[in-house]
Structure 1
Amino acid sequence: MKIFFRNIHLYLSLVSGLVIAVVCLTGGILVFEKDLEQAWHPERYFVQPASTPALPLARLQAAVRAYKPDATLAGIKVYADPTRTVEFSLAGGPEGGKQPAAGAEEKRGLRQAGRGGKGPEGKGGKGGEGGRGPTVFVNPYTAAVTGELNYRESFFFTVMALHRGMVGGPIGKLVVGVSTLLFLFIIGTGLVLWWPASRNAVKQRLQLKWSGGWKRLNHDLHIVLGFYSALFLFVFAFTGLAWSFEWFNKGIYALTNSSMERPEPPVSAAPTVAAAPAGTLTAEAALVRARELAPVAVSYALQLPKDATGSIRVATLRPGASYENATDEVYLDQYSGQVLRQQTYEQRSLGQRVRGMFKPVHTGSIFGWPSKLISALVCLLGVTFPVTGVILWLNRLKKERKKLRRVAVA
């Protein structure tokens, strides 16, 4: 029976090994995407807090308009941390456009969130990869523009495209998805092959034998380290299927008895002549209203309306949230500031909450730095297994050829 599983393990690995190695390598890099981005460009994200209060958002908006005169402002993200810059998301592209976007970190969430429904856990979100504009960072105390991020031109976009197979378009994405499915079977058959025949062999399968020759060490690197990393790799591969196959996402919502579709955003009431409104609600007024509704928050992300009937969406991240997209949201009438709809994270459907957990689990950010380090290490090990596995196979072939020659001579 083990010969049967060994053959399955071998041939599936030969078919998908190279793709798996690339996905593991790029995945290990993406674990620290946010941390590396902030370390490489600290001026974009951090400022020295001033003794004076932050400037009104109108002043900061004016600085962005002066910096990008033709751009359309789509979203604003304000942090409670006084050392953070304010992030202004521009719609559609570098020269403006029609598509709304979110803050830089929320963009990462939209990119890596689920594909079922609309919104942050929806089908790419409303600031999907195709039409997302740049993010401009502004010092909240001086209104100075501290930097700009065009994600599609960044190093991490290239890494992400390799990770998801999008460099090959739909075919590349399918190849990565199929390889990920095969990887689940490879891990399963690997555990069957690892299982010791006796109790005495357990210790041997759990420890690296450094004193043996290079063949023995290669064997242990594949077998022993493969066992220790199997559960993590299985979880990463399983959650990764959500970015490759729509049927997988549909299955999540079906199993949780949840609808994939999120309700359409509410519309703002058309202002009447009698009301004589001064105009649309300013971003500052919307932020004040959001702070009234949620006085304690890590960040407030405002998505501005696209037209005269649209509403202002505010995503609020509470302290101690399980992950960065576990936000509460409220929709405000763009004229009166009245709350049109409000939903806490706990009020989302079970399907949305389960699907939302896939990103932090897949990237290893679910428990902060400890889980990130484990994820990165496991991903690096995942790069080595196709190599050590091929060496094991070649050594076995060489051994079998020698055996056949001896039989032939005899």
Structure 2
Amino acid sequence: MSQKKIKKAARQIHLWLGLATGIIVFIISITGCIYVFEEEIRNAVSQEQLNIPVQQKPFVGLEKIVTNFKKEVPKGKITSIKINEKEPNACVELNTKSKSYYFNPYDGTLINQEKQDWLVTVRKLHTSLLLGETGSFIQRWSVVIFVLMLITGIIIWFPAQMRSLKQSLSIKWKGTAKRINYDLHNVLGFYASFILLIIALTGLFFAFKEVKNTAAFLSGSELTDGKKVDSKYVEIKESLGKRYDRIYKTAKLQYPGAVLITFSIKKTGDLRLRMLYPYNWSRRQNTFYFDAKTGKPLRYKLYKDFNNADIIEASNYDVHTGRFFGYFGKIIAFLASLIAASLPITGFIIWLKKNKKKKKSPKKVRV
């Protein structure tokens, strides 16, 4: 197939896929752009409820906090608990499906409660378009289509002659509005495309098991689920607060040094405990799974046992958000996502202008 035919086919694929998924790509990109700096935004706007004055007291423990939560919300179901080990004065965050509760780490009293903040809505928009499983399905396949659009976009961008390369790499700011819009789509799209391919592929890593398996195959190792706990477990009759507290204290004693400890209830009904440790590149994280009803340990995965595939999995989120390369990486991911959000807009304007031009063109009359 000639280069001309390849470009023509790529242009058609790019056009129709873009028209079909433009709005979804815009939503995913703009929310991703915002969520890159989620941690910094949350710390800036919620500093008072996240931290209290430092006191010379030890951590009160999860039993008191969970007990106080149950007094406030008797029918409330806990979905997650976050304990910031790096800052002893940081409030313990306890979440339900609809609200977040912040507790004093020294005496366990409730400091504040609020509906889940707008950043949670941003994340849900990014991952499921606020449409649950249906939205997640649409989002996943829209990202697959976006990858195809990036590839076809690079093919379309590539100049037929090398002497035109310089023109394809710069925006003609002195040109007409139509030309500037075309360059914003074409040139910025090219510059961002390689970063966006990385962001999109790492996003697909979360969504598709096949992508994880491919990454594992390329790494020469297999992704592990962790080691099963084979020892016999004697069920202990205890309150929910005592169970959380016992698991928390045991994990801290056996694996000290974590800077962030989180509990969360999975869709399977299992209770997951994550312990995050200081790291530079690959995330150092120990993960433990328990039966949520009995507290029985099921399996665990320690970062010291990670193989290549596990390291890729542990690093994927940080690569996806740019955090892997520090603030510089976050800024690059932010700018690339911002450009991605602009592409459906500039692309639609290009298509609209061409359609108007076709309609205005007089039809040739045969004599």
TM-score by length of 1: 0.70
CA shift in 2, pair 1:217/1:285, >3 Å? same
Q: In the TM superposition, what whole-angstrom CA distance separates every residue of 1:334-364 from its partner, at most 9, and x where no partner exists?
A: xxxxx99865314135434323333222233
Structure-2 residue corresponding to 1:359:
317
In structure 2, do the counterparts of structure 1 residues 290 and 394 end up closer, same or farther at CA, with 3 Å as the change threshold?
A: closer
Aligned-partner residue type, residue 317 of structure 1? L
Query: Is the Cα contact below 8 Å between 2:227 and 2:299 reproduced in 1?
Result: no
Residue equivalent to 1:34: 39
What SS is found at the alignment partner of 1:368? helix
Match of 2:112 in 1: 147
Aligned residues: 352
Q: Are residues 1:384 and 2:323 paired?
A: no
Q: Tell me, what secondary structure is at the counterpart of 2:188?
A: helix
What is the CA-CA distance between 1:39 and the residue it aligns to? 2.9
CA RMSD across the alignment: 4.1
Summarize the alignment of residues 4-403 of structure 1 with structure 2, pairs less than 5 Å apart: 4-55=9-60, 58-70=63-75, 77-78=82-83, 79-88=85-94, 135-148=100-113, 151=116, 154-253=117-216, 257-258=221-222, 261-264=225-228, 269-270=233-234, 289-301=250-262, 315-320=274-279, 322=281, 326-329=284-287, 343-399=301-357
The CA distance in 2 between the partners of 1:191 and 1:248, in whole Å, is 22
- Equivalent pair of 1:265/1:331 in contact (CA under 8 Å): no
* Deviations, residues 172-202 of structure 1 (Å, cap 9, x unaligned): 3333222222211111111112112333322
- For the structure 1 residues 76 and 184, does the alpha-carbon distance in structure 2 shift closer, same or farther, using more than 3 Å as the test? closer
Structure 2 counterpart SS, 1:84: coil
Measure the CA separation in 2 of the matches of 1:176 and 1:56. Answer: 40
Task: Tell me: CA distance 1:80–1:401, structure 2 relative to 1, closer, same or farther (3 Å).
Answer: closer
Higher percent of residues as helix: 2
Q: Contact (CA 8 Å) 1:180, 1:237: kept in 2 or not?
A: yes
Distance 1:176 1:401 in 2: 35
Unaligned 5+ runs, structure 1: 94-131, 273-279, 305-310, 333-338
* 1:137/1:145 contact within 8 Å kept: yes
Identity %: 27
Q: Secondary structure at the match of 1:48?
A: coil
User: Contact 1:33–1:156 at 8 Å: present in 2 too?
Assistant: yes
- The 3 A distance-change label for structure 1 pair 398 and 266 is same
Q: Is the 8 A contact 1:233 1:382 kept in 2?
A: yes
Q: Which amino acid aligns with 2:156?
A: L
Q: Which residue identity lines up with residue 390 of structure 1 in the other structure?
A: F
| Offset, 1:220 | 1.1
Q: Give yes or no for contact 1:253–1:260 (8 Å, CA) kept in 2.
A: no
| Residue 97 of structure 1: aligned partner | none
Q: Which amino acid aligns with 1:357?
A: S
Deviation at 1:58, TM superposition (A): 4.9
Sort the Cα spacing of 1:144 and 1:378 in 2 relative to 1 into closer, same or farther, 3 A.
same
Q: With structure 2 as the length reference, what TM-score do the two structures score? A: 0.77
Q: Which runs of 5+ in 2 are unaligned?
A: 291-296
